[in-house]
Structure 1
Amino acid sequence: MSVEHAQVTRADFDQVMVPSYAPAAFIPVRGEGSRVWDQSGRELIDFAGGIAVSALGHAHPVLVKALTEQAGKLWHVSNAFTNEPALRLAYKLIEATFAERVFLANSGAEANEAAFKLARRYAHDVYGPEKFEIIAATNSFHGRTLFTVTVGGQPKYSDGFGPKIEGISHVPFNDLAALKAAISDKTCAVVLEPVQGEGGVLPAEQAYLQGVRQLCDEHNALLVFDEVQCGMGRSGELFAYMNYAVTPDILTSAKSLGGGFPIGAMLTTAEIAAHLSVGTHGTTYGGNPLASAVAGAVLDVINTPQVLAGVKAKHLRFTAKLAQIGEQYGVFREVRGLGLLLGAVLADAWQGKAKVLLDAAAAEGVMVLMAGPEVVRFAPSLIITDADIDEGLARFERAVAKMTQG
């Protein structure tokens, strides 16, 4: 590296990066557990978790070991060959879920792209070319490719990129009557997040998901659950569908699946999977040995009674304190979510101020997220210590106090 680039700062971002992000003023350089240090050596508590990705915190020894061991063996061979870590990961996912077949990709968007293509191909093969319509939820989020962003129910992300993919419609979330009115024998799939993440951390209602499953069965439509954000232990069960006892036909996972290493997975049954026959879909890097080795280790750690029970206990610790903060300072009208995917919904007096609170929190040494301008989102490590929860929430309360007084 040349001398002038040895030290980079936040100002360099605006010189070299496409301006599609507006990152924070500080640059994190090191993390351990649920603590992060920036370039100046300032320590922050991480309640953001890399947007629900760093499920085991930073530099978890089991993950470091899995990655470095695999790094010394084999990085990449392509899908012209299979590899041992990918097969082991697939077995673990199948043993832990409803699934019988796995497709590995690099991200949530890619897992969803595969899921939506599979749903259309299955309907095309089994019922004919007329059955291609997809119904998704308003305010949903499924990725940034042209297909996934069109299925996502947020026009602000999909407008302005030319003609959209046809045959996609949106109905309000948690509204069974609306879905019943929209679904038909032309519907090939209904796509839902069991907990809407980017749309405001909004869990599905039990009766709603059960009703959706029934409507899909009546119309020969596949039920696709996007668990990219709410899956992999985040809800207190390994996958969120397990909280509802409603089984999808296709499930997508990413984010926490790799614990920070990019990977995505689409899970389905053998019967449905048969329709992605040789040559119909592919990926160069998907299922590479590095990602698969790390994800296998993540799954081993998370899919234990201790960790999953811990998520439920930590949920109560977070929500009790957030409710108290909300009441004391009049900032939140609701705290909602499942497990360690939580949303604090701003009260009317503080509408649209999520970014202000996020910045105030960072100034106090705690990293949080937003889920739209009205919701402060928390997606910390699933194994964050109680001490870090308490300290992080104390810092967050100071930020709230300053915002409300300032």
Structure 2
Amino acid sequence: MQVSSELLDLQTGADVASVAAWTDRYTHAVMDTFGPPQRVLVRGEGCYVWDADGRRYLDLLAGIAVNALGHAHPTLTAAISAQLGTLGHVSNFFGTPTQIALAETLLSKAQAPEGSRVFFTNSGTEAVEAAFKMTRRMGPGRVLALEGAFHGRSMGALALTSKQAYREPFEPLPGGVEHVPFGDTAALEAAFSAQAVAERGPVTALVVEPLQGEAGVRPLPPGYLAHARTLTADAGALLVLDEVQTGVGRTGSWFAYQQPEIGGGVVPDVVTLAKGLGGGFPIGAVIAYGERAATLLGRGQHGTTFGGNPVAAAAALATLGVIERDGLLQQVHDVGAQLREQIELCGSSLVREVRGRGLLLAVVLNAPVASEVAAQALEAGLIVNPVAPDAIRLAPPLILTADQARDAAAFFAALSLPTDAPTDTPTGQEA
């Protein structure tokens, strides 16, 4: 059966409509939750995408850390096509080989102990939502999260997210969540103290991102997670790591907490994944480490129609397989280090520093002009993200080459500090 010519035109960009024409149609058909699109993209290949006017862009955002293998990767597209041609969807009354194999693969990559299990979802916020429900099964008490945290926009995930602008329109949110200062071990100890427990109840879980992505790519200080593991273990609480953005090789290891300077050798209780897991195909996962965490959600206590469906599982298996086959963890480490060094040494008066790990980086600016810089980048043929007023997020495909990294660094080298720009720059989230 052949695909209709109209659909082929839409998929290949053969439609004669321009970016302007498509944008006009967008504003009349798509709900205005994101504002007008910066461009209308019609195709991609590797680390590049093209818009409806035929302009090419180096994609340094990868759908916000999603397209781990870039665009139209032949192994990924073949795996999805083959699986869809065999078995596209079944309910979770049944298992499938791809679902089972993916769960086993994730447990292996996580080096999870005996008794560990995986729950599949369709997105990061759904993975966090499932993890949040797991914390409720620990009994009454407080769930701790960090200031600057972003965990998603569904109601439970939003309760863990700290930015008030996201929270206020939807309050009251699920209760029992406290936010403690980012990276402050003394404040964390105080939240677990006997006085806090007596006044506000026990801590049932701590939910943290190893690197806060939406807050400007802020890594937790060395030793913080190890200290958090000790506090949660002593309190009988869960340590939940949100690796939705940092997992699947993004920082140069399968999970960010596996890097010694970040995790310090900790073994968490729960890890949430999504974004890069399917290489662009929607899938998320919750990894529960050990029998206690794996049995918190029993039969009938949680579910999802599409989670772990055969096509999504095949996409994830292909993505993980290519990362391993092509040595992309080492490439992320090497190219990420090169990109970081070249931007830091580019000589621009506007660039203050680069922070992050692997290919999840923030270029911190000496003025709150990130939106203007992102607009200049787009005009120059680069896609970046102004994640904070003074920070540009880079999260390119894991297949980014050394030459493409040099192209990115060259753009930042050409920037200069505006003569009228204030240099006392605030930091914060900007979705």
TM bracket, shorter-chain basis: over 0.9
- The reply to whether residue 14 of structure 1 matches residue 50 of structure 2 is no
- Hey, what does 2:429 align to over in structure 1? none
Alpha carbons 2:88, 2:309 under 8 Å: kept: yes
- In the TM superposition, 1:154-165 aligns within 5 A as 154-165=163-174
Instruction: Check the 8 A contact 1:238/1:302 in 2, yes or no.
Output: no
Separation in 2, partners of 1:57, 1:305: 13
Structure 2 letter corresponding to 1:209: L
Rate the CA distance shift 1:178–1:304 in 2: closer, same or farther, 3 A: farther
2:337 maps to 316
Is 2:208 the partner of 1:192?
Answer: yes
Q: Deviations over 1:309-344 (max 9, x none)?
A: 11111111111121123xx22212221001100011
1:218-247 CA-partner distances (Å, limit 9, x unpaired): 111100000000111011111011012222
Match of 1:250 among 235, 248, 270: 270
Q: Name the residue aligned to 2:253.
A: 237
* SS, match of residue 92 in structure 1: helix
Question: Structure 2 counterpart of 1:98, which letter?
Answer: Q
Is residue 2:228 matched to residue 1:215?
no
Residues 71-94 of structure 1: per-residue CA shift (max 9 Å, x gap): 101111111111111111001001
Corresponding residue for residue 172 of structure 1: 181
Would the aligned equivalents of 1:89 and 1:292 in 2 still touch at CA under 8 Å? yes
- Cα distance between partner residues in 1 of 2:322 and 2:108: 15
3-state DSSP of counterpart to 2:170: coil
Q: Which residue of 1 aligns with 2:72?
A: 59
Match for residue 337 of structure 1 among 350, 356, 368: 356
The Cα of 1:304 is off from its aligned counterpart by 5.4
* Higher deviation after alignment, 285-294 or 97-106: 97-106
What secondary structure does 1:206 align onto? coil
Judged with a 3 Å threshold, the aligned counterparts in structure 2 of structure 1 residues 136 and 402 are, in CA distance, closer, same or farther, namely closer
Determine the C-alpha separation between the residues in 1 that align with 2:418 and 2:287.
44
CA contact (8 A) 2:245 2:273 kept: yes
Aligned position for 2:46: 33
Matches within 5 A, 1:3-402: 7=17, 9-99=22-112, 100-121=116-137, 123-124=138-139, 130-131=140-141, 133-183=142-192, 184=197, 186-243=202-259, 244=263, 245-268=265-288, 269-303=290-324, 306-325=327-346, 328-347=347-366, 350-351=367-368, 353-398=369-414, 400-401=415-416
Instruction: Give the deviation of 1:403 after TM superposition.
Output: 6.9
- Could you tell which deviates more after superposition, 105-114 or 202-211? 202-211
Q: Percent identity?
A: 41
The letter of the residue matching 1:192 is V
SS of the equivalent of 1:76 reads coil
Could you list the per-position Cα deviations for residues 97-125 of structure 1 after superposition, in whole angstroms to 9, with x for gaps in the alignment?
1332000000000000001101221x12x
Q: Count residues in correspondence.
A: 391
- In structure 2, C-alpha distance between the alignment counterparts of 1:115 and 1:26, rounded to whole Å: 35
Deviation beyond 6 Å, 4+ runs, structure 1: 402-406
Given that 1:171 and 1:179 are in contact with CA atoms closer than 8 Å, whether structure 2 keeps it comes out as: yes
TM superposition shift of 1:26: 1.9
Change (3 A) 1:86 1:324: same
Change (3 A) 1:160 1:140: same
| Whole-angstrom CA distance in 1 between matches of 2:391 and 2:399 | 23
Amino acid at match of 1:144: R
Paired with 1:237 and 1:25, the residues of 2 have a C-alpha distance of 32
- Which piece of structure 1 moves more, 299-308 or 242-251? 299-308
1:331 partner amino acid: L
CA contact (8 A) 1:360 1:403 kept: no
Which amino acid is the alignment partner of residue 355 of structure 2?
R
Counterpart-to-counterpart distance in 2, 1:38 and 1:318: 25
Shift in Å, 1:300: 1.2
Secondary structure at 1:178 match in 2: helix
Q: Distance in 1 between matches of 2:416 and 2:68?
A: 29
Q: Which amino acid aligns with 1:74?
A: L
Change (3 A) 1:304 1:212: farther
| Residue 187 of structure 1: how far off its partner (Å) | 1.0
Cα offset, 1:270, TM superposition: 2.8
Cα offset for 1:19? 1.0
For 1:362 and 1:396, locate their aligned partners in 2 and report how far apart those are by CA, in whole Å. Answer: 13
- Residues 150 and 375 of structure 1, relative CA distance in 2, 3 Å threshold: same
Structure-2 separation of matches of 1:405 and 1:397: 20
Q: CA 1:72–1:304 in structure 2 vs 1: closer, same or farther (change >3 Å)?
A: closer
| Structure 2: gaps (5+ residues) | 1-5, 422-431
CA contact (8 A) 1:238 1:303 kept: no
Q: Relative to 1, partners in 2 of residues 1:336 and 1:189: Cα closer, same or farther, differing over 3 Å?
A: same
How far apart are 1:376 and its partner, in Å? Answer: 0.3
CA contact (8 A) 1:354 1:375 kept: yes
Counterparts of 1:98 and 1:386 in 2: how far apart (Å)? 31
TM-superposition CA deviations, 1:247-292 (whole Å, max 9, x none): 2100000000011000000001232221211100000110111100
Q: 3-state DSSP class of the match of 1:321?
A: helix
CA distance in 2, matches of 1:42, 1:371: 24
1:333 maps to a residue whose letter is: R
Aligned-residue offset at 1:162: 3.0
Q: 1:236 to 1:215 in 2, by over 3 A?
A: same
Please tell me whether the aligned partners of residues 229 and 266 of structure 2 are also in contact (alpha carbons under 8 angstroms).
yes
Answer with 389-398 or 328-337: which moved more: 389-398
